[in-house]
């Protein structure tokens, strides 16, 4: 997910750049393998290099720093490179690294398991004890499309079928499958209130985010109305948002310190405007989950007499070994979860996958995940110094990769029959869906290029696959850092490079 200060609307523009491709009469076409064919190929590749050089050499891009690498997947030939071995901040292109490592170490069929255990005697419709909810990190349980309603309906039915209509104890959230460090290393403090910087837990609900709705008051100067959904976020909202004159721009700022539940919102919204929303992160995902579950069970006729609690906040938690399984739920497979990760660039999924990779290797921490990822990359020929990962999503400004590393990873995926299909299916498609839905429309790249975007302040990245005009498959990585020109200019330049690749032909 893209940080607010880095959001950009991508428009298709080739910066006035026109590609001229020489055409030859069919009767004079050179046969593959003869000298004239090789010469034509060389000329075409040289033209491609000159065309890309002219794009990145635009005077408006002088202060920025570019890293570009384009290779042929068919011939393993480098078609273009510029600073390909320099370390650059990748933003969400880091998700390419995380997903590839997750697919290799966990497998596309990997699922997360959530269990509800009855810790106590069940008799006469009553559980004399606690319900223990044990998570493994499933990031997909949420309110979208009524998913949690259907799921909680099923869970309540299973509890009743097991003879539980009253719970005398608590709903305890067991998140011990992961460690308790929820935030990535180097995340900016002013990102933390927003949903794209939500912390990770082994129990997660609604992507660990709530939605704040802000509506103008009846008159200028009145306080704006503020509401939060879902209602069990535990956030304490302190709002000073006022109503401004009609036609003035809305201005909303949110602040929440790490480890705190107080969400401070300030600014103004214009009189008569439609209510606006802001997605914000919650402080304790585990407590968020069990509060939502407790409310859902009560609403479905199960009398829960104790509170919802985080296992880390109590000293008398029951043992899992002595508790009886009542509900077991498995998430969709990794191949399905990957679509959410890549199409909309969902940071929480990336951080969850990173910890899951670590857990699979015996250390359920960010560090454990990074260590396991480096081991996978080493086996693919990626040098340790070419990927410096501090999180799984790219939100950290301590993340650095080389375009060469990303191309090596994407090439490995493309040549691996087990990895290729689901990985490519998860990538946004130019002009069609995900973060590329409105980009490169009406060009040769539309419906052709599949690539991961990356966007944060002074960083733009685009890496993936595109098929040339003659059917040759190409892999590319384009990263720009440290620019002071408008982000839209950088985005258009990267798109122009991809469109040029889509029109490239050796014939």
The string of DSSP letters for 34-98 reads SHHHHHHHHHHHHHHHHHHHHHHT-GGGTTSEEEEEEEETTT--EEEEESTTS-B--GGGHHHHH
Contact by Cβ (8 Å): 85, 69: no
Query: Both tokens of residue 402?
Result: 């080389």
492 is a catalytic site residue: no
Q: Which of 71, 95, 355, 452 is catalytic?
A: 95
Q: Which of 44, 233, 244, 345 is catalytic?
A: 345
Q: How far apart are CA 247 and CA 243, in angstroms?
A: 11
Strands across the sheet containing 459-467: 78-82, 65-72, 473-481, 459-467, 450-456
Alpha-carbon radius of gyration of the chain = 26
Q: How far apart are CA 312 and CA 177, in angstroms?
A: 12
User: Which residues 6+ apart lie within 8 Å of 345 measured at CB?
Assistant: 1, 2, 92, 95, 434, 435, 452, 453
Contact by Cβ (8 Å): 198, 209: yes
Contact by Cβ (8 Å): 112, 364: no
Q: How far apart are CA 217 and CA 241, in angstroms?
A: 10
Q: How far apart are the first and last CA of the chain?
A: 40
Query: Both tokens of residue 1?
Result: 């997910």
Q: How far apart are CA 93 and CA 462, in angstroms?
A: 7
345 is a catalytic site residue: yes
Q: Which of 44, 92, 239, 268 is catalytic?
A: 92
User: SS3 of 118, please?
Assistant: strand
Catalytic sites, residue numbers? 92, 95, 345
């Amino acid at each position: 997910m893209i940080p607010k200060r880095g959001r950009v609307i991508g428009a298709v523009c080739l910066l006035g750049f026109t590609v001229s491709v020489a055409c030859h009469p069919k009767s004079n076409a050179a046969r593959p393998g003869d000298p004239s064919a090789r010469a034509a190929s060389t000329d075409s590749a040289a033209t491609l290099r000159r065309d890309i050089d002219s794009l990145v050499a635009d005077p408006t891009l002088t202060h920025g720093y570019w890293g570009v690498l384009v290779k042929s997947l068919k011939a393993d030939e480098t078609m273009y490179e510029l600073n390909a071995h320099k370390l650059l901040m990748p933003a969400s292109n880091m998700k390419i690294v995380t997903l590839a490592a997750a697919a290799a170490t966990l497998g596309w069929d990997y699922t997360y398991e959530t269990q509800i255990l009855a810790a106590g005697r069940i008799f006469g419709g009553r559980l004399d004890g606690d319900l223990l909810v044990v998570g493994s990190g499933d990031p997909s349980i949420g309110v979208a499309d009524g998913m949690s309603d259907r799921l909680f309906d099923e869970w309540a039915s299973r509890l009743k079928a097991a003879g539980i209509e009253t719970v005398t104890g608590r709903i305890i959230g067991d998140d011990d499958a992961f460690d308790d460090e929820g935030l990535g290393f180097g995340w900016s403090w002013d990102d933390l209130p927003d949903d794209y910087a939500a912390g990770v837990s082994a129990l997660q609900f609604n992507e660990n985010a709530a939605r704040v709705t802000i509506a103008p008051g009846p008159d200028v100067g009145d306080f704006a109305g503020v509401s939060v959904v879902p209602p069990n976020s535990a956030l304490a909202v302190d709002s000073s948002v006022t109503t401004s004159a009609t036609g003035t721009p809305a201005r909303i700022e949110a602040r929440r310190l790490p480890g705190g539940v107080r969400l401070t919102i300030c600014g103004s919204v214009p009189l008569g405007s439609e209510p606006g929303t802001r997605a914000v992160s919650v402080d304790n995902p585990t407590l968020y989950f069990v509060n939502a579950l407790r409310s859902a069970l009560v609403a479905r006729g199960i009398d829960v007499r104790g509170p919802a609690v985080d296992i880390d906040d109590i000293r008398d938690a029951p043992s899992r070994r002595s508790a009886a399984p009542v509900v077991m739920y498995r998430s969709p497979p990794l191949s399905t979860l990957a679509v959410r990760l890549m199409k909309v660039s969902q940071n929480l999924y990336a951080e969850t996958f990173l910890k899951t990779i670590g857990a699979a290797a015996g250390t359920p921490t960010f560090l454990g995940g990074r260590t396991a990822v480096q081991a996978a990359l080493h086996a693919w020929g990626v040098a340790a110094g070419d990927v410096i990962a501090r999180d799984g999503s790219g939100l950290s400004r301590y993340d650095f990769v080389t375009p060469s590393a990303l191309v090596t990873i994407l090439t490995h995926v493309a040549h691996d029959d087990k990895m290729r299909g689901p990985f490519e299916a998860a990538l946004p498609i130019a002009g069609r869906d995900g973060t590329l839905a409105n980009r490169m429309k009406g060009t040769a790249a539309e419906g052709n290029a599949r690539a991961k975007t990356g966007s944060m302040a002074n960083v733009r990245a685009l890496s993936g696959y595109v098929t040339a005009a003659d059917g040759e498959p190409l892999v590319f990585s384009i990263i720009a850092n440290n620019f002071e020109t408008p982000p839209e200019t950088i985005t258009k330049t990267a798109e122009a490079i991809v469109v040029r690749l889509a029109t490239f032909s050796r014939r």
